[in-house]
Amino acid sequence: MKQKRVPIHINTECITLGQLLKFADVVGSGSEAKFYLASHKIVVNDELDNRRGRKLRPGDTIVIEEVTYEIISK
């Protein structure tokens, strides 16, 4: 099965992993992000990472529940 790829366009230097979860409609709020990260496997650039404040920059890839998100600069 082919993994779904979703571009996340940002117009800032970086966003946090918590912000990505909201942009991707995985969670509805920052407080939900904390609980989501504690109970789900998140892979950032091929490494496990569950830090809500992790800075994501253009070129980074994030895998959440078999969906790959790619950070892209606008």
Tens-place pLDDT, residues 40-61: 999 999 999 999 999 999 999 9
Distance of CA 53 to the CA centre of its chain: 11
Residue 15 has pLDDT above 80, yes or no: yes
Residue 21 has pLDDT above 70, yes or no: yes
Selecting from 3.30.420.40, 3.40.50.11890, 2.60.260.20, 3.10.290.10, what CATH number does the domain 4-73 have?
Answer: 3.10.290.10
- Other CB atoms within 10 Å distance of the CB of residue 65: 9
Amino acid identity, position 11: N
Domain layout of the chain by residue ranges: 4-73
> Which value, to the nearest 10 degrees, does the dihedral of the CA atoms of residues 59, 63, 3, 9 take?
-40
pLDDT given at position 30: 81
Is the pTM of the predicted complex or chain greater than 0.75? Answer: yes
Amino acid identity, position 25: D
